[in-house]
Amino acid sequence: MSVKKITSAAKLSVRIAVITIASLLFNRYTAFLLGVYIYSLTVLLLGGLGGVLQVTEIKSLMLFHLDEVRGVYMVPEYWELLLLVYLYAYFNMILRPFRYRALLAAVPLLLAYLGQDIYFLMYSNVFRVAELSEVPELLGVLSWPYLLLLAVFVLLPLGCFFSLINYRKPLVILAGAIPLAVVIGAVLYFPGKYIDCYNKVGQKIVFWSDAVSAVNNGRFMMLLYREAERQVSRSKTKTFHNREQYRKKNERFAQWIAANSTRRNVHLVVLESFLDPTLFKKASFNKDPFHPEFRQLFTNKLGLSISPVVGGKTSQAEFEILCGVPAFEEVAGMEFNTFTGAAAYCMPGKLQLAGYQTMASNAYNPSFFNTTSAYQGIGFDTIYFPREYVSGGETYIVRGDTTDEMQYMFDGELFDQNLDFIAPLLRRKNGPPLFNYVLTVYGHFPHLINEKKRPLVIRMHAAFKDAQLERSANQIYYRSQAIAGYIRRLLKLDPDSLIILVSDHLPPGQHGRKSFQKLRYLNNDPDSLHMNRIMIVEGGKMKKYGIMHHYDVPSVIYNSITNGAYCKVYSCGFIDNRLLDDRMSRHDDYMEIMAHAAE
């Protein structure tokens, strides 16, 4: 063979190799994945969820969200990417051949992602399958310009997609849909096994944030996972579900409350990690960690309440305080994650039926703990988050300057804004009584302090060193001053009100639970790590009961607003300063609440 022929053959081989490699690397599927990448980056720049490319919060030391460090990197959303490629290939397969088939096949996926991201940008919450039930209501309130935009940018593209499906090949359509049908069928009919399998092969599902979980796993994967959790909840509570009967039962109770009500306003504050440093038997301080104004107000009237959690999971404490039942975590993990917004008639819902205006003010991000849906189901008329988190939504809270304090709004700022907001409501002569619920976030681990605003004034002396708890003690000094100011101002506005402030849980120490054991918190008595301070002010007088559970708080409220009538009918251990062992006796009530929360 001549050199010329060999050269020509070599060139041809190289050309074929280049074409082959190019066809493998540069085709509709690589273009699709590149589009997903670009889409993820675009959404991030708009403040939405990440995807293959993300902006994240770097976590360090402990379970919870710490100092935020923004960075861009590849995320191993293997199952989400596999599902996206499968769906894109399937859509290509079922469409009739035409010039723009590759583009049209991506349209349903783009719209599905876009819808979820718009929802997140508008409500700072991750979309769930259960919220599809709200679509008809949404369509009913949209004005015609928005309906027109919806028709042009959603219905028209989807109409084109479905009109160009090759319906002459039904076997291809059905065969290609089998993998998707199997996955959806597993979620609906074998949800427990689906969850177990996904926990083994998927990325970590974090309990505090749907947003972080969606970033780690992908939007579709989290849609399926959360729906599987809901199906597990519905299955476990099926025998307790009877919406009509449940509604009537709560209406009867609300009527009784209304008939016996003093119409007393209620202000309930759940304090993030509000630690009483004086309960450490093996630590002393250079001065009282409580501010003199706080100490003068409460003297020796600080009570103790048992939280279901230690060092984290605030929503579990909230659930007990607001729903009046133990947080068994029996249905599908953390209770807040099960709520869909359906009426569960917890204490705020019952008060609402009794004629109260119920409002919740949360100092942090609504995407954490599925808070928005949970608060709706629990029974709040209105829900407020800081303006920085709700993208222009209606709110009165402004987080403001949180320099060096990790976006954690100081209690005093929240209290002042809350009082300014509710003052006109309290002055109404013929308005409904108010249930004002406030959740703080300052004091969250790792207890960073802006020392220019709040200089360190407390020094902890102990053989066992814990800088973390010493910082917490310094925060308590300023937080207790803010509490004293809040109560004094509130009593001027609403002297006959019931005011309850309770810590959600103890903070994590630098060495975890070991710190509390070494420093002998409450002398290491049984359940000491679950015991938190509770402060009660009724009609301007400080009240102290014996040790109670967080789930006893609704009974304290019911008894106060009925002028003692409630505890004459129902068992109230706190009245006699007795801690009742009644956890299991409330199990059916728990199951009933969860049965209707998961609708």
Which two tokens mark 225? 């996972």
Instruction: Look at 218 and 22; give whichever has higher pLDDT.
Output: 218
Pairing verdict, β 357-362 and 382-384:
parallel
pLDDT at 73 over 60: no
Share of the chain above pLDDT 70, in %: 86
Q: Answer for the pair 520, 282: CB distance below 8 angstroms, yes or no.
A: yes
Is the CB of residue 365 less than 8 Å from the CB of residue 385?
yes
DSSP state of 280: B
d(Cα 322, Cα 336) in Å, to the nearest integer? 11
Mean pLDDT of the chain: 84
Q: Is the pLDDT of residue 292 over 80?
A: yes
pLDDT in the model for residue 66: 33
Q: What is the pLDDT of residue 72?
A: 41
The answer to whether the CB of 419 falls within 8 A of the CB of 436 is no
Predicted pLDDT of residue 139? 63
What angle separates helix 191-201 from helix 219-236, to the nearest 10 degrees? 140
The superfamily CATH assigns to domain 240-597 is Alkaline Phosphatase, subunit A (3.40.720.10)
- Reported as a single tens digit per residue, the pLDDT across 173-224 is 999 889 999 999 999 999 889 888 888 887 777 666 677 777 778 888 888 8
pLDDT for the residue numbered 542: 93
Give the model's pLDDT for residue 128.
Answer: 77
Q: Is the pTM of this model over 0.85?
A: no
* 8-state DSSP, 440: -
Lookup: tokens for 434: 């108010």
Residue 308 DSSP label: S
pLDDT digits (tens, 9 = 90+) for 449-460: 999 999 999 999
Which one of 12-21, 57-66, 315-324, 369-378 scores highest in mean pLDDT? 315-324
Q: What gap in Å lies between CA 14 and CA 22, rounded to an integer? A: 12
**Between 12 and 453, whose confidence is greater?**
453
* CB 322, CB 519: distance < 8 Å: no
Residue 236 in this model has a pLDDT that exceeds 80: yes
Task: Find out whether 375 and 407 touch, Cβ atoms under 8 Å.
Answer: no
Q: Answer yes or no: is pLDDT of 291 > 50.
A: yes
DSSP 8-class letter at 7? H
**pLDDT for res 20:** 54
| Distance between CA atoms of residues 48 and 191, nearest Å | 29
Q: 568 is written with which tokens?
A: 């004459």
Q: Does residue 397 contact residue 420 with C-beta atoms inside 8 Å?
A: no
Characterize the bridge pairing of strands 531-538 and 460-461. Answer: unpaired
Paired strand residues for 533: 304
Tell me the per-residue pLDDT of 380-431, one tens digit each, with 9 for 90 and over.
Answer: 999 999 998 887 678 999 988 888 888 899 999 999 999 999 999 999 888 8
Q: Give the confidence band of 125 by pLDDT, cuts at 50, 70, 90.
A: low
**Cα–Cα dist 592/595, whole Å:** 5
Query: Residue 457, Cβ neighbours under 10 Å: how many?
Result: 14
Hey, which of 141-145, 166-170, 200-204, 272-276 has the most confident mean pLDDT?
272-276
Extents of the domains making up the chain: 3-236, 240-597
Q: What is the pLDDT of residue 461?
A: 93
Whether residue 46 contacts residue 114, with contact meaning beta carbons closer than 8 Å, is answered with: no
Q: What is the pLDDT of residues 532-558, one digit of tens each?
A: 999 999 999 999 999 999 999 999 999
Contact 228, 240 (CB under 8 A): no
So what's the pLDDT on residue 262? 93
pLDDT of residue 26: 65
Please provide residue 350's backbone torsions phi and psi, each rounded to the nearest 5 degrees.
-70, -40
Type of residue found at 447: H
pLDDT at 58: 32
Q: How many residues does the chain have?
A: 599
> What whole-number distance in Å separates Cα of residue 17 and Cα of residue 150?
47
Tens-place pLDDT, residues 488-507: 999 999 999 999 999 999 98
Judged against a pLDDT cut of 80, whether residue 275 lies above it is answered with: yes
Distances (CA, A) of 40 to 34, 88, 107, 108, 413: 10, 17, 16, 16, 35
Which CA distances in Å does 21 have to 26, 33, 86?
A: 8, 17, 22
Q: Decide if 447 contacts 278 (C-beta within 8 A).
A: no
Backbone torsions φ then ψ of 368, nearest 5 degrees: -85, 135
Cα-to-chain-centroid distance, residue 286:
38
**Residue closest to 164 by CA, chosen among 88, 224, 104, 228:** 104
| Separation CA 207–CA 226 (nearest Å) | 11
Enumerate residues 6+ apart whose C-beta is below 8 A from 509: 466, 468, 469, 515, 516
Instruction: Dump pLDDT digits (tens) for 322-381.
Output: 999 998 887 766 788 888 889 999 999 999 999 999 999 999 888 777 888 899 999 999
- The yes-or-no verdict on residue 10 having pLDDT over 50 is yes
Cβ neighbours of residue 227 under 8 Å, at least 6 residues apart? 128, 129, 130, 187, 188, 191
Phi, psi (deg, nearest 5) at residue 501:
-125, 130
Res 17: pLDDT: 53
Pairing between β-strand 72-74 and β-strand 382-384 as defined by DSSP bridges: unpaired
Cβ proximity of 271 and 486 under 8 Å? no
H helices of 46-155, in order, are 78-94, 101-104, 107-123, 135-141, 144-150
Look-up: residue for tokens 């959303």? 77
